[in-house]
Amino acid sequence: MGVENNVNGNNRITAWMMMMMAKGEVMIRIAALIATIVATLVMGLNKESKSARVAVVGTTPIFQTITAQFQDTPAFIYFVIANGIASGYNLVVLSLRLFSKSWASNIAVHLLDLVILGLVESGAGAAASMAELGKNGNMAARWSPICNNFHTFCTRGGLAIVASSIGALLLLILTMLSIITLHNVINAANKPQVVAP
> Is 177 part of a structural domain of the chain?
yes
> Is 179 part of a structural domain of the chain?
yes
Q: pLDDT class for 121, splitting at 50, 70, 90?
A: very high
At 132, which amino acid appears? E
Q: What is the pLDDT of residue 161?
A: 96
> Is 156 part of a structural domain of the chain?
yes
41 pLDDT more than 60? yes
> Is 197 part of a structural domain of the chain?
no
Q: What is the pLDDT of residue 118?
A: 95
Q: pLDDT class for 2, splitting at 50, 70, 90?
A: very low
> Is 195 part of a structural domain of the chain?
no
> Is 149 part of a structural domain of the chain?
yes
Residue-range definition of the domain harbouring residue 72:
2-190
Q: How far is CA 188 from CA 18, 80, 101, 128, 181, in A?
A: 11, 41, 16, 43, 10
Q: pLDDT class for 15, splitting at 50, 70, 90?
A: low
> Is 196 part of a structural domain of the chain?
no
Q: What is the pLDDT of residue 12?
A: 67
Give the residue-averaged pLDDT of 44-64: 86
**Domain count of the fold of the chain:** 1
Q: What is the pLDDT of residue 1?
A: 47
> Is 80 part of a structural domain of the chain?
yes
Question: What's the pTM value of the predicted model, to 2 decimals?
Answer: 0.81
41 CB-contact burial (10 Å; exposed 0-12 / middle 13-18 / buried 19+): middle
Give the residue-averaged pLDDT of 4-14: 56
Task: Count the helix, strand and coil residues of the chain and give each as a percent rounded to the nearest 5.
Answer: 75, 10, 15
Tens of pLDDT, residue by residue over 123-178, are 999 999 999 988 888 888 888 888 888 889 999 999 999 999 999 999 999 998 88
44 pLDDT more than 90? yes
Q: What is the pLDDT of residue 19?
A: 67
Distance CA 123, CA 157 (A): 13
Question: For 28, how many CA atoms within 13 A lie in the half-sphere containing its CB?
Answer: 19
* 37 C-beta neighbours (distance < 10 Å), count: 19
Q: pLDDT class for 3, splitting at 50, 70, 90?
A: very low
Q: What is the pLDDT of residue 195?
A: 59
Q: How far is CA 1 from CA 8, 9, 192, in A?
A: 11, 12, 17
Q: What is the pLDDT of residue 14?
A: 60
For the chain, the average pLDDT equals 84
Q: What is the pLDDT of residue 59?
A: 84
